[in-house]
Amino acid sequence: MSIEIKVPPLPESVSDATLVAWHKKVGEAVVRDENLVDLETDKVVLEVPAPASGVLQEIRIEDGATVVAGDVLAVLEEGAVSAEETPQAASPQKAAAPKLEKEVRAPKTSPSVRRLLDEHDLDETMVIGTGKDGRITKADVLSFLKSDDSGNVTPGDPTPVVIDDQDVVGIERSEQRVPMTRLRARIAERLIEAQQTAAMLTTFNEVDLTKVMSLRSRYKESFEKQHGVRLGFMSFFAKAATEALKKFPVVNASVEGTDVIYHNYYDIGIAVSTERGLMVPVIRDVDQMSFADFERELGDVAKKAQAGTIGMEELTGGTFTITNGGIFGSMMSTPILNQPQSAILGMHAIQKRPMVVDDEIVVRPMMYLALTYDHRIVDGKDSVQFLVTIKQLLEDPGRLLLNI
C-alpha cells in the first residue's frame, strides 16, 4: 500500500519551513518511526518520521525547497522490499518473504551533524562519537575528515602542493559560499530590529561571588543526591533576578506600540548556544520554583535546544532574559535586547581579582554584570538599582531564602 509522507502541522505563527535534508534515498528500506527528512523553521528543526516500514518509492520535494503544512514530501510503499534486499530466486514459483531492515538506530545526531555527514557522503557508523552516550558531534566529523587517508581534502581547507611527498611549496586559496540557515537569518533579523526599535543602554556592576561559591561547594553533593540534578550558578542568578524584578516591575515589562505591558509573572529566558545558533528557551514561573526545580527544567530545555527538538512554545513568551558569555571566557559585553522585553542580564567570566575589603586587599572571585535595557521605559535609576539588588542578593545569598 502506498502512503503519502506529508509536512506535519507547523508550530503556531510559523507559515512555512525549509526542507533541509533527506536521510533516505528512493529505493531504500525504512523502518517505522525512522527519521526520513528534516524541516527547518525560524526556530526549530522538525523531524518527519516514517509512518510504517517499507521502501521509499518517490521523493517529490528536494532539499532547499520551501514547504507548508500538508505538502506531500514523498511516497512510501508499505511492506515492500528494497532492491538490495531482494534475494536471488531459487524458483520462480517461490516468493521471498519481505525482509525489512533491523530496527537498530545509530546514536542520535543533531541536524547540523547529519548535514555535514551527508555533504561528505559519510555514514554515522564510520565516525566515532565522543559526545554523551556515544553521540557524534560536529568536531568528531571534522576530525574524521582531517584524518581521512583517502587523499580527499575537506572543502574550504587549504590544499598543499607536495613535491617528493614532503616539501610543501604552495597553498591553494579557496572560498566557500554557504547560505544562512533560517535560524541564523531570523537571529540577524531580530538583532537589527532590536537596534532600530529600542533605545538600548547598558549599565555595569560587579559582584563578589565568594559566598555563592562557598554555599555551592558546601552543599552541591548533598543537593545532587537529594534532587538528582547538579547545583549550578544559573539558579542563583535566576532567583536573584526574579527578586529584583519584583522590586522593579518596569524591568519585567514590555512595549507594545505606545503601551507598556506590566507582567505579574516571571518567565525567564535563558540563552543557550547550539550548533544551529543561539536559542532562548523560556522557563515559566521562576518565582514559584525551588533551586532544584529550576535546575531540572533548565537542564531539560537546554538538552532539547541542543538536540534541535525543542518546541516553538518553549521559545516564546519570556518576560526577561539572562545570557552567560562567561562560559566562553567573555569578561564584559553589552547584550542586545530580546524584544519585546525591556531588559537582558549579561553574566561574564569569574576571575580572581584583588579587592579592598575592610581596608585590606584580598583576593576575591569577581564577575562583571551587564544590564542592557530599553531606555524608552526604563530609567537609569531603575536599571542601576535593579543591578545593585542582584549584587546584594548574590553577595549575601541568605537574602534569597529570607526574601529580604
Asked if pLDDT for residue 15 goes beyond 60, the answer is yes
Domain assignment of residue 300, yes or no? yes
Domain assignment of residue 89, yes or no? no
Q: What percent of the chain has pLDDT over 90?
A: 43
Predicted confidence (pLDDT) per residue in 56-110, tens digit = 989 999 888 889 888 999 999 887 665 555 544 444 444 444 444 444 444 456 6
AA letter at 354:
P
Residues 270 and 385 in one domain: yes
Residues 154 and 192 in one domain: no
Residues 30 and 64 in one domain: yes
Domain assignment of residue 136, yes or no? yes
At which of 179, 207, 239 does a domain end?
179
How much of the chain is in helix, strand and coil states, percent to nearest 5? 30, 25, 40
Q: What is the sign, positive or negative, of the torsion defined by CA atoms of 182, 108, 52, 74?
A: positive
Asked if pLDDT for residue 319 goes beyond 50, the answer is yes
Q: What are the φ/ψ torsions at residue 105 (nearest 5 degrees)?
A: -100, 140
Most confidently modeled of 75-79, 135-139, 151-155, 165-169? 75-79
Q: What are the φ/ψ torsions at residue 177 (nearest 5 degrees)?
A: -95, 120
Helix and strand counts by DSSP (H, E) for the chain = 8, 21
Q: What is the CATH number of the domain that holds 11?
A: 2.40.50.100
What is the domain range of residue 77?
1-83+99-105
> How many Å separate Cα 217 from the centre of its chain?
28
Predicted confidence (pLDDT) per residue in 350-370, tens digit = 999 999 999 999 999 999 999
Q: What is the sign, positive or negative, of the torsion defined by CA atoms of 217, 219, 224, 227?
A: negative
**For residue 10, what is the DSSP state?**
P
Residues 55 and 197 in one domain: no
**Which residues are bridge partners to 5 per DSSP?**
74
Predicted confidence (pLDDT) per residue in 31-47, tens digit = 988 889 988 887 677 88
Residues 50 and 117 in one domain: no
Pairwise CA distance, residues 197 & 210, whole Å: 39
Q: What is the CATH number of the domain that holds 117?
A: 4.10.320.10
Higher-confidence residue: 197 or 295?
295
At which of 159, 179, 199 does a domain end?
179
Residues 290 and 398 in one domain: yes
Residues 219 and 174 in one domain: no
Q: What is the CATH number of the domain that holds 335?
A: 3.30.559.10
AA letter at 398:
G
Q: Which of these ranges, 121-130, 238-247, 328-337, has the smallest mean pLDDT?
A: 121-130
Do residues 55 and 101 make contact, with C-beta atoms less than 8 angstroms apart?
Answer: no
**Structural domain count, the chain:** 3
Residues 51 and 15 in one domain: yes
pLDDT reported for residue 101: 43
Residues 175 and 203 in one domain: no
pTM: 0.65
Domain assignment of residue 90, yes or no? no
Question: What is the DSSP code string of 267-328?
Answer: -EEE-EEETTEEE--EE--GGG--HHHHHHHHHHHHHHHHHT---GGGSS--SEEEEEGGGG
At which of 129, 150, 179 does a domain end?
179
pLDDT reported for residue 171: 60
Domain assignment of residue 388, yes or no? yes
Domain assignment of residue 241, yes or no? yes
316 pLDDT band (50/70/90 cuts)?
confident
Nearest to 347 by CA among 364, 315, 371: 371
Domain assignment of residue 88, yes or no? no
Q: What is the sign, positive or negative, of the torsion defined by CA atoms of 127, 128, 131, 132?
A: positive
User: How many Å is the Cα radius of gyration of the chain?
Assistant: 26
Domain assignment of residue 94, yes or no? no
Please give the positions annotated as active site: 375, 379
Residues 366 and 307 in one domain: yes
Residues 170 and 287 in one domain: no
Residues 151 and 50 in one domain: no
